Each structure stands twice: as C-alpha cells, then as structure tokens.
Structure 1
Amino acid sequence: MFIGLDLGTSGLKGLLIDDAQRVVAEATHPLTVSRPHEGWSEQNPAEWVAAMEAVLGTLAQHDLSPVRGIGLSGHMHGATLLDAQDAVLRPCILWNDTRAHREAASLDADPQFREISGNIVFPGFTAPKLVWLAKHEPEIFAKVAKVLLPKDYLRLWLTGEHASEMSDSAGTSWLDTGARDWSDALLSATGMRHEQMPRLVEGSDVSGTLRPQVAARFGLPDGVVVAGGGGDNAASGVGVGVVAAGQAFVSLGTSGVLFAADDGYRPDAASAVHSFCHALPQTWHQMGVVLAATDALNWYARLLESDAKQLTEGLGPLRAPGKARFLPYLGGERTPLNDAAIRGAFIGLEHATDRAATTRAVLEGVSFALRDCRDALAGTGTRIETLLGVGGGTRSRYWCEAIATALDTPVALPVAGDYGGAFGAARLGMMAATGGGLELARPPEIAATIEPVPALRAAFDEGYERYRQAGAALSGLT
C-alpha cells in the first residue's frame, strides 16, 4: 500500500492506495489563508503539520502496516523560511502573493534569469520573495538557514531531511531547469547561497525514510520511504498519466492550467509559458496558467447570490458566443499577458443581456484564456495529441464543450475517481518504493469524450478574436 499527501491552498488531502492503485481510503483537512495586507497571502506551516497529522490519523483507521511508500505534492513557489535549528521564521509567503512584483520585475530584467531558469520571474515565484524579505524584513533574512517549498516542509517533519525535487524547484527562479540543478549564479544574484537550498532528487526517487516516532504514532512499519514527489501540477500529471510527449490535460480548478508533457526542454520565457521539469527523470513539461478559472465562476455566482451549479446546469446546448464578453483577470494574469496589475471586465453588456448570457460569457472567457495558453504552448513546439479534462469545472458539460470547441480538440473525461495531486503523489511513492517507472503512471479509464461542435467552430474563432483584442486593449491600460 502507498500514501499520497497533497498540500493544497485550501486543504490537505491524503489518499491510501493498494498495489493495484485502487483507492482504499481518503481524508481531507481544511486550511485557511491569511491576507494581512493588500496583495499578501500567507499560511502558518504549523497548520500544515496539524492538517497532515489529522489526515494521517484518519487514514490510520485502516491497517497501515502494509504501507511501503509515501509521496508528496503541494502548491508551488511558497517561501518557507527556517533558521539553523529548523524553526520557522515567519508565515510562509504563498504562490498567489504579489508583494514582490517590483523585485520580480527587477530580476526578470537580468537576462540570466530567463536564460538559465527558462521562465519569466513571476511575482509569485520564490526568489523575488527573498529579495523583498532582504529589503523589508532584514532581521529575518539574516537568520535564514534553509528555504523550503511548502510540501518539503512536510517532508522535513516526516523524515528529518532537507530535500526537494525538480518539478517544484523549477518554480523558484533559482533552478537551472535544463540541467536540473540549482544555479549558483541565480542564487548569488538574489543574495542567497547554495547551502541554503535543500538537496535535490527526482520525484520518483527516495528522498528519505520515515522517522521511527512518526511511523509508530500512525501504525506505519519501519523503513517506509518518502518519494521526492512533485509540485501540484506535475503530480497531477503523473496522476492522470500525462507523462509523455503529446499528452496533455486541462485543469479547471481555482486556477486554470493547460499542462503538456514533453520529452525535451523547450523554454520560451517571452511567451509566459512555464517550462518546468516534470516529476519523472529526464522529462519536462510546458504549462499555461490562467489565474482564475472556477474562481471566476464562483466570484460571479457570489455576486448573484447563487452558486456555480445553479448558474450552469440550465444553459442547454452550446451556443455561439454573444455580444457580452468576460475577461477573467480578477487577480492579474500569467499566460500570455504576464500582467499582475490587469483586472477583469465585462464588455458588450446591453439591455437584452440576461443572467444566462453573462454566465456563458464567464465560461467562454475562461475557455478563451485557455486557448491563449494553447497557442502559447504551440509556439514553443509542444504538441497536444490527447487532452484530458480534470477539476471541478469539468462537471459542467457546457463548459467542456466550450473548451473543446475553442481549442478545436476533444476533451476526454476520466471515470469518477481522484486522479489529482494526491493520487499522483501516491504513484510517485509507489515508484520510489518499488523501483517502478512510467508503466505505473497509466492514463485513467475514460467515461466520456466531449467533441468540438463543428457548426460553432467559426463562431468561437470570431469570439476568441474579439476576446483577444479586448484583453490586449485592457492590458495596455495597466
């Protein structure tokens, strides 16, 4: 048996799977985000540990003596700062924190960051947060002995090891993504040293062994290995079997992600495509990110004092985009705009615009933002031959049809089951414990495939062009 632990922004999830990769048990524990100032987003790492203890305690209601491996997944880019005694120095600065936007722009202006890391230095990445810290909290910066990514703080608690892996570390702006190693040049440019970084392993390799006191507490056997694991999207890629060139998935969660596996390293930082290591050896992935996907729909539902299901279940068959357009930039946008200041908008509203029309506009706006991502990935040479749809937003058939038609690509929906970060983490734990490889990361059984609507392709092409022009105009105002 194997355990996968996925540290999300809003909660920690654990899965227990057997040797046939069937889910035996699952557990979740909620987490909250603190926003003490505008643009800030923080969590206390002690709450992560408490959540993991609660989840492991629930899973321990089953017999955990057959467990051989644990895998970790988690939200990326967070700066978890430890002193020489491994005490946490301040709350973790999260992925969606934008306080370091000036520092990010300054680092991004240094050509070596894009050249070595393969990516734009985004405000949410880890390196600019440490530059901000040196400026604004110098007494804390001076005490930093180790910087860990969020899931890797859980690893420290589980194993006593300061370790990370390539997929998560690629989102720090300190990794030489092609060489899969820390870059001393990029560390030095931000006032950091190599010894402040965790050692690196591949996501499917062993990073450490469970501490005996942890094992005894939860009824786990001695010698349980903890895999390197993966950043949330890379682990999800392993979970849905998107591990080889041509395979891709679209995720409709809080944010929207178009994730494509690659057998080579093909960075194109100017496109705002994320070029990261995958969680498996000698594989990489390209990723386009839309910061508000279901988050945009839930925001709109709150405005109407409704919920997402009520808004979408009565829309009927897919229709051509109307005059109303929605730009989903509620908290800035990544791919392809790279604009932290841009904000969303409804455009083309008129007397005849009703609730259904604006709901369709929200779904279309996110779908068109994903088409932006598709086009940006295509510009790097990354191909998409198969596309899986995952995340809560895929429960809306209308939305899936809109995405399939906007991207002119069928969207395959897995059978009911959890194929996200926790499942991918469990698979990585299985690989680390057994020495297994790609054959363990098989795609899920498909329940349905949503085809593009041929009669609406031209209308969606026209709608996308109107969306793109409106977005470019809005970006020019920021």
Structure 2
Amino acid sequence: MTQGDLVISADFGTSGVKVGVVDSNLTVLARVTESYPLVLKTGGIAEQSPEDWWGALAHALASLRQELPDLSKRTAALVFSSQLCGVICADANGTPLRPCLTWLDKRAAPLGKKLTGGFPEVHGYNLPRLLKWLRLANGAPAKNGMDPTAKMLWVMQQEPEIYAKTRWMVDVKDWLVHRATGEMTTSPESANLSWVMDSRTGREGWSDSLCALTGIDRSKLAPIVQADSIVGPLTAQAAAELGLDASVKVLGGTSDVMASALGSGEVADGALHISVATSAWIAGFFPNRRLSVAHSYATITSGLNYRPLLIASQENAGSALDWVCQLTGNGAKDTRFADIGTPQDDDPFFLPWLAGERVPVDNSNLRGTFHGLSLHHDKNALRRAAIDGVALNLRWAMSKVVREKGAQTTGPVSIVGGVASDPVFAQTLADALNRDIRVCSARHAGMLGTATLAAPLMGWANNVCDAAATLKSRTSATYAPNSSRVAQLAVRADHLAKIRRFAIRSYT
C-alpha cells in the first residue's frame, strides 16, 4: 500500500496527451486532453519537441487541480504510456539534443532497406541477418525505416555532432519518466522494437550480438524495467512543475499498444482487440512468441514479465479519414460522417495508404488513391469510400492475424481509440469483419489501461491483468453485423483486393 488514494494516468499520443485522475474503482474522476504540435516536412520528416509533451502534462495537471483542489495531496502514483518507435537523443542530464524522430518519421527508409537487405534475400531481407534477428528478437527492423534501429543509424551518420554528444537514445515514454524522476529507463516494448534486444524466454535483455549486427552502441541504451515497477519518486523540480508532492511514485510505464490492450479488458491469451486512432493496430496477448515475416507482424515482449503481445500495425486510419474530411470540407469531428447518405454499389474505392503501409505489406512507398470515380460522385461518396477503405484495410490485416494458433475467431471484437467512438465507422467495421463490435471506453481506454499498472502498488488488485480484466465489462456501445451490408462489403473487398495487388506491384 502507499499514501494517497488516487493515480494520475497520462497517455501520450501523436497529437496530444490524455490525462486522467483514477480512483480505486478505475473510475475517471476528472480528465483533460492537451494537444501539442507535430512538425511534418518533405522527405518523410515527422518531429516533436519533448519539452512540448512535458509542458502539455503540466498544463493538464493545472486544469485538473481546478476540478480537484486536493489532487496534490491525494495523488500517490503517476503513470505514463506513450506512442512507440520514437528516438530522442539526450545528453547525460537527459536534455534533448534535437527534436524527437517520431514513429511517423520515414527519413531513414533508405538506411532501413540497406540494413535489412542484401543477397541472398527473402521477402526483401538478407537471409543470414534475418535468421539471426528472428532467432534472438522474434522479428527484424521494418524496411520502411520507421523502427528506432534505422533512425538511430540516421542520427549517427547524418548528424554526427549530435550523436557525439548523445548519452542516451530513448523512446518517448522513457524520456518522460526521466524528466519526472531523473532516472533513465526503457520498456521491454521499446527495447524489442529497437531490434537489438534478445526476447527469448529467460534471456530477455540487450543483445551484444544484435548491437554488433546493426552498429548500435549498447552503452547509449537505457536499462529495461517492467511496466509496474517503481522507478522513483518525483524530483523536486518535476514536483514543482507538475504541482504534485515529491513523494509521488512514478512507475516504469508502457507503450500505447499495451495500454490499449489493458484498457480494452482483453487480457486473455488469443483475445484480440483493435485500436483505431491516427493509426490502427490489431493486438492481443499470446502464451508464446509469434511471427509472420510475410505479413510484417509479430509478438513483442511486453512490460508484464515479458509476456508476448502481438502487434499488427497499420499506418493509416484516423489520419486518412481526417485527410478526406479536410479535402471534402471539414465539419464537427463527431458528426462529419453522420449524414453521408446510404452506401451505393458504385461508390468509389479508397486505399488509405497515405503514409505507406506496414501490415500485412511493409512498404513505405505505397500511396493512397481513390479508384472508380465518376462525375456523379460527391463529397459524401468520397467520405463513404474512406470509411469503407479504412475498415476493409483492417479486414485485410485481420484475415492474416486470425490464422495464428489460439487466436479467438468468434465472438465480439473490442475496439478502442478516437475513431472507435464514431458510430458509422464502428458499424462499418462490424459489417466488414462480420463480427459483433464492442466499443470500450473508446477515447480513454489507453489512459485507463495505463492506470491499471498502479493497481498492485495501490492495493486495488493482486496484479495488473486482474485489474484490467474488470474493464471488459465497460462497454459504451455494441454493433451487430447487418447481413445485407456484410454481403455488399464482401463484394467491395474482392474488388479492392484486385486494386490493391495492382497498386502494390506499381510501388514495388
């Protein structure tokens, strides 16, 4: 047990941070969202300032203290989750030396291909190196350069003056924990996705062999800690900036993927859930390591005693829907798909690959398109096509993932994320998958899942998964497949498969 009865949970996404105050019933007493900028430039650049994240957190807590005046003295723990696959170069004091290369940054794609390719090749990977990665890490760096591996090499080669001053190369959540405690750590998820971690059972940790294979300096990598471990109390400076007591304990924290898994309540082996926000992913825990080289997904070691967590990530979901809505004249975000008319058999088709794709085809060069446009198509037809395109893109990925032994193939599919709360999208996904859809605490599942990490510390549950399992009962809406729409989308899926094959050949 610990002093105080509340937990502050902060879920750092691509566009902003969701911060909530959670009690022993995993009820959110107050919450606020603060945004921060994402700098996008030609050449695949997608950067953020780490200090913007910290400033957004401080501003959010100031707002929450207005709602809960006794927040400071009642808070016992602070827990973070965040976007994955960022690279922050920090000096010995933890000061960022350049903006963060976020997960969306693709400037290192040529390095990614050079690192992974070379004769003899299988699926674009050099066979001897691939076999070593698969044996030790249960995966390999993405060819599109979006994983930390290629980004670290890019800094080393393109910004040698920055690299020379760099003491730590860490992910988003890692820097936030350091900013709060003064201790530099990393999560098993971030470590695994750097592809220089040995993820074999009983041997989990940084691998000298994989560091030598990639050229990454192990001394610049932070110690790996579990998600529910106590890293330390707040530093005096952090406590003052956040308006909290210095006794508040900061936990190791986790990735947005595991936070969503916990927040969905789907913690049984083989239980899959879908997160649909800026990007999308299908994820779920499994009893052992899984891997699909052909379709670019695998399990990674989670921060819960290295329990394998399958992640099948797609680059385009809410971002593609936002783009189409901006293109066709935006509107209130919660109602922009409310009056788009009845789907038509001759609606255009949409490939949502505006930022390349990862699963089930890893190709950063893929690009989105509308296909089958006619003069009579209006903005509503384009919006209907966008909804269908994102849902059918997920259907494409799901068709591969459900082949895994032990994956649950019947029953409702839980969905989380900002897009999940849109009823038109949720119904379309139910029809596309021909499965019931259960909408969880859509916009705040990650924040709630993050809070469950503190449950054992707070005495709320015996372990994190027990706490998370209680969230499965929190359903905000359910959607059953509509038989006629299921049939219509099956036909559209067949057409899209043909368009997709042509597009993939064109960009390969």
With over 3 angstroms needed to count, the CA separation of the structure-2 counterparts of 1:449 and 1:198, relative to structure 1, is same
Query: Which of residues 427, 445, 451 is equivalent to 2:474?
Result: 445
Alpha-carbon displacement from aligned partner over 1:229-287 (angstroms, at most 9, x marks no partner): 11112111112212222322222211122222222211223311242223422422222
With over 3 angstroms needed to count, the CA separation of the structure-2 counterparts of 1:48 and 1:448, relative to structure 1, is closer
Equivalents in 2 of 1:366, 1:214: separation in Å? 41
What corresponds to 1:407 in structure 2?
Answer: 433
Shift of residue 105, structure 1, vs aligned partner: 1.5
What one-letter code is carried by the residue in structure 2 that aligns with 1:124?
M
Equivalents in 2 of 1:390, 1:177: separation in Å? 28
| Aligned ranges 1:14-413 → 2 under 5 Å | 14-61=19-66, 62=68, 63=70, 64-109=72-117, 110-111=129-130, 112-122=132-142, 123-179=145-201, 180-215=204-239, 218=242, 220-307=244-331, 309=334, 311-315=336-340, 319=343, 322-381=346-405, 383-384=407-408, 385=410, 386-413=412-439
% identical equivalent positions: 26
Do 2:62 and 2:243's aligned partners in 1 also have CA atoms closer than 8 Å? no
Do 2:168 and 2:222's aligned partners in 1 also have CA atoms closer than 8 Å? yes
Equivalents in 1 of 2:179, 2:339: separation in Å? 48
SS of residue paired to 2:486? helix
Equivalents in 1 of 2:422, 2:346: separation in Å? 19
Relative to the length of structure 2, the TM-score reads 0.87
Shift of residue 325, structure 1, vs aligned partner: 0.8
What one-letter code is carried by the residue in structure 2 that aligns with 1:90?
R
Q: Which moved more, 1:109-118 or 1:6-15?
A: 109-118
SS of residue paired to 1:431? helix
Alpha-carbon displacement from aligned partner over 1:167-200 (angstroms, at most 9, x marks no partner): 2332222222344422222222232233321111
Relative to the length of structure 1, the TM-score reads 0.93
Do 1:114 and 1:121's aligned partners in 2 also have CA atoms closer than 8 Å? no
What RMSD over aligned residues (CA atoms) do the two structures have, in Å? 2.3
Do 1:257 and 1:289's aligned partners in 2 also have CA atoms closer than 8 Å? yes
* Matched residues, number: 476
Shift of residue 36, structure 1, vs aligned partner: 4.6
SS of residue paired to 2:272? strand
Do 2:347 and 2:384's aligned partners in 1 also have CA atoms closer than 8 Å? no
Do 1:204 and 1:229's aligned partners in 2 also have CA atoms closer than 8 Å? yes
What one-letter code is carried by the residue in structure 1 that aligns with 2:452?
R
Which has the bigger relative contact order, CA under 8 A and spacing at least 6?
1
With over 3 angstroms needed to count, the CA separation of the structure-2 counterparts of 1:309 and 1:214, relative to structure 1, is closer
**Runs of 4+ displaced beyond 4 Å:** 216-219, 308-311
Do 2:452 and 2:464's aligned partners in 1 also have CA atoms closer than 8 Å? no
What corresponds to 1:436 in structure 2?
Answer: 463
Shift of residue 11, structure 1, vs aligned partner: 1.5
Specify every segment of 5 or more residues in structure 1 that has no aligned partner in the other structure, as ranges.
Answer: none
Shift of residue 428, structure 1, vs aligned partner: 1.1
Do 1:253 and 1:393's aligned partners in 2 also have CA atoms closer than 8 Å? yes
Shift of residue 32, structure 1, vs aligned partner: 0.5
Query: Which of residues 12, 17, 28 is equivalent to 1:12?
Result: 17
What corresponds to 1:466 in structure 2?
Answer: 495
